[in-house]
Structure 1
Amino acid sequence: MASSEIEVVSPTESTVLRQQVQNERQHGAPNGTAPASASNVVNVHSASAYGDFEKLRFYVEQEGASVSIPDGNGYYPLQWAALGNFTHIALFIIERGGDVNAADNSQQTALHWAAVRGSIAVADLLIQSGARVEAADVNGYRAVHVAAQYGQTAFLNHIVAKYLADFDAPDSDGRSPLHWAAYKGYVDTIRLLLFREASQGRQDKEGCTPLHWAALTGHAEASSVLVHAGTKKELAVKDKAGFTPAELASDKGHRQVAHFLVCNLYNSSSLNICRRLSRKNQWYFTLSTR
C-alpha cells in the first residue's frame, strides 16, 4: 500500500513552481479558458472559476472577501481554481489561508477537482502545500479513481510516480482505478495501470473484475488490452450473478466483444464457435468440436 504522506519539496522544485506561476500571471494560464465577462465574475468563487486574478485580488484585498467559505453548492474557491488549472489563482488562495484539504458536501477536495481536468501543476502546488494524496470522498474515490474515471493518464502517472499515490486502491464498492478505466474504455489509462502491475483479478462488491466492466460496456479495445495482458483465469471468473465477462457482453448485445472473449477463453484447436442463437433478444454462443 502506497504511503499517503506528502513528499518534502526541495528548494529547487519550489523555485520552478513559483516561476511557472509568475509566467501564468504575466501571460495567462495555459488551459485555453476564455476570459470571463464582467457579468460572470461576481465573487471570489466565480473569479476563481474563470481565472480572473485581478477580480479575485480585488474581492479579497479591497472588499475583504474570504477564500475559505464555500459557495451555495458547498464548493470552495480552491476547487474552482483546480478545475480550471489556474495555478496562479490557486497559489493566491493558499497564500491567503485557503485550506488545501477543505472538502465539499461530497467530501471531495481541490485535488479531486484537479484530477478531473488533469491539472498537474495545480496538483503539485496542492500536494506540496499539504494536500492529502489519499483523501477519499463519500464514495471512497481518491484522486487516482477520479483520474481514471476521466482518462487523465498523465495526471495519474504523475501522482503515482512522484507522490506514491496508491494506484490499486479500492473505492467503497471495491473498484480500483483499473475497474474505472475499463468501464470508461480509456485504453491508455488501462495500459499505464497494467504497466504498474495493477490487479486484473480484483473483484468488486458485485464480483466484477475490470474485464467484466469492459465487456459490460462493450469496449472492444479495452477488453483486448486486458485479455492480452492477463490470463485465461480472468476470462473464466464469474460475478455474483454467475456471469463471465463473455456472458455479460453477450447479455448486453455487445456481440463482437462477446465473440472475442469466447474465442480467447476456448482458444483450442479442438473447439470452434459454430453459431449464435438469438433468444428473447439475448445472444448465446454454442460450441462444437471439430
Structure 2
Amino acid sequence: MYGYQTTHVAAQFGQTAFLYHIVSKWNADPDVLDNDGRSPLHWAAYKGFADCIRLLIFLDAYRGHQDKEGCTPLHWAAIRGNLEACTVLVQAGKKEDLMVTDNTGLTPAQLASDKNHCQLAFFLGNARRLLDRHCDGNSRLGKLSKLGLAPVLWCVIFVLLITYIHSVILGPNLPKLTAASGLLAWSGVFLATAGLFMFYRCSSKDPGFIRMNLHDSENKKDDEPLLNIEINHPALLAGNWSQLCATCKIVRPLRANHCSTCNRCVEQFDHHCPWVSNCIGKRNKWEFFIFLVLEVLAMLITGGITLTRILTVPFAHPSFRARIQYAFTHLVGATSFLVVDFVLFFIVFVLTVRQANQISRNITTNEMANTMRYSYLRCRW
C-alpha cells in the first residue's frame, strides 16, 4: 500500500538502528521511492528524525529527489518547522538545495515563512547568504571574507601598542618615569607582544580538524559494498548516531562537532572565533586562553600606568575639571588609549573568565549552548 518499502517505514518511525541493519545486512535500497515519489529521506525530514537523516546522507541518499508535489526533503523539513533536520540537510547540502522550488514555486525558506516558522525561515535565508559567500570564494570579496577579522584585531592591538609607547611611555607632556614605573610600563608592552605571538599561533594552528573520508559513490562498482567500512564503528553500533557526520562522511570522536564556517569537523570543538579567523578546538584552545590572559594583564597594566600618568601631571590649580580639560586638549593620545583600553578590557575580561570557568569544568562553549543535545552531559545537570 502506497508503495512503502521497509526503509520508508523505518524512516517514518525514526528507527535508525533498524534502518542501518536492513541496509547493511540485507542490502535494502536507502533511496527507494514510494508511489508519491518520496524517499526515506523525505520521511525522515518530514518527521524530524535527525539521526535517520544523518545515516541516509552518509549512505549517499540523494537530497534532490522531488516528489509529485515538487518537494525535496528540505521542503518537508521546512514545512514541519524541523530546525535540526534542516540544519543537517543544509550542512551536508549545496546552495542549489536552498533554491529548488516546489510545484507552487516556493523555496524551503519561503515555505517556512508561509507556515510561520520564523526562526527556521531566518536560518534558511541566512544559510543561503553564507553559501553564496562560500561559492564566491574565488572573488576578491570572497578571499577577504576567508581571512576573517584576524588582520583587523592584529592591527588594533598593534596601533594601541604604538599609541601607548608614543603617547604614554614617551609622552612629552607627561612626567618622567621612574625606574620602577618604567619597568612596569614596559612589562605591559612585553605582555601584549607575547599575546600577539599566542594570537598568531592560535590563528594559524590546526585546531583539531578530523580527516574527511569523502568517497565518491558515483564511481562505485556494482559489486562494491554500499557502506563504507567506518559505518561499523563501535559508537554507531552502540546507537550514538549523533557522532555520524553526514557532511565529512566520518564517525567523529565524542565531543567533536562540525563547524559550518570551516566545513570541517573539529575535535573538542569550542566555537569558531571570527576575530581569530579559526576554530577553537583541542589543539589550540590553550593558545587561545593564554592569549586572552596575556592581553587582559597587558590592558590592566597599561591602563593603570596611563591613568596614573595622567593624574600625576602637575597643575597650578589641580581641580578635577581642569585635569579633564587638559587631558582632552594636551594628552589626546594618552586619553584616547585609556578610553579604548577601558572598553576592551571589560569585554576581554568577561570572555577570559568565561573560558576559565569552562576549562575548570571541562566543558566547551558548544556543549554549554547545546547541553540537552549531548547524552553524555545530561547526567551532569
Larger radius of gyration: 2
TM superposition score normalised by structure 2 = 0.34
Greater RCO (Cα-Cα under 8 Å, separation 6 or more):
2
